[in-house]
Amino acid sequence: MADYAYTDTLDGSDIGWSVETINALFDLCPDYYIPGTKMPMQRIVKQDDQDDLISYLRRATAKEENLSESHAYRVCGDCHCRFGV
């Protein structure tokens, strides 16, 4: 999302968001997975809850027409996360 102020850490990261990386993010906690971002310290430990999050991100990013040419991700319109496509 062009007007969202990503941290330098996240913006400069080479992480490609996918089911595996999002699950790892919430298994470990964002502060441990990619320290220095403004993501809150929170874990999603139940697999059903992680699966629900992935389903939501897929639906939210499918609606978003703003696909960057330079990165293989879409931007979620609700939480501004960038999810790999």
Summary mean pLDDT of the chain: 75
User: What is the model's pLDDT at position 71?
Assistant: 44
Mean pLDDT to the nearest integer, 33-54: 87
pTM metric for this prediction: 0.60
Please report, for the chain, the start and end positions of each structural domain, with discontinuous segments joined by +: 8-84
What is the spatial distance between Cα 44 and Cα 24, in angstroms, rounded to a whole number? 10
User: What is the model's pLDDT at position 18?
Assistant: 87
Q: pLDDT per residue over 49-74, tens digit each?
A: 999 988 988 888 776 544 444 344 45
Indicate the Cα dihedral angle 9, 67, 17, 81, nearest 10°: 60
